[in-house]
Amino acid sequence: TRHSLGYTSTLRYSGTLLHVHLAADMRVLACSWLLVTAVVVAVLVEATSAKVYGKCELARVLEQQYGLQRQAIKNWVCIAEFESRFNTAAINYDNVDGSKDYGIFQINSMYWCHDGTPGGKNICGIRCTDLLGDGLRDDISCAQRIYSAQGYSAWVAYNNNCRHIDLNTYMAECWGATGRGYNDL
């Protein structure tokens, strides 16, 4: 039977007549799918705001947009290269304690940001997902807090890759031999 608001079907179940109004159920189902679609689109939009920097590009951004000094920049750039390959959306799921590392500096969820990791401390007072976009303000702020507490040695990548190299030579392709300008190689 067709009604103005949709279809009604009459069914017999164990001797009882059941009237089912299909339009309302279909609208609820359609709204549910719209909500799911909106959430998926929002997640994809957030994911697409991530950025993979070039080495010299990151150095320039850290200096010109965030005011970092070159002595610090060469360490942060080296850490970013070996922690995330300069990828702001990088997530490491392989920690033994079940925590994850997020963003360009691979900041850990057990201590520094919140992602629901059991026992997590969230010392930086941020959501870990805030570290995954193309903006670096939260990443830098939290990384500097980690540095203040533990130094660069808080990063395995620094200990394994950056600590024992000449970082001036490492950055020469960006700053040139004099360390004054930027080379876009």
Residues taking part in catalysis:
83, 101
CA 115 to chain centre: 11
Token digits for 130? 């805030």
Place of tokens 């990548």: 157
At residue 166, what are phi and psi to the nearest 5 degrees? -80, 105
CA 16 to chain centre: 56
Q: Please, which contacts does 41-49 make with residues 24 or more away whose CB atoms are closer than 8 Å?
A: 46/129, 46/132, 46/133, 47/89, 47/132, 49/133, 49/134
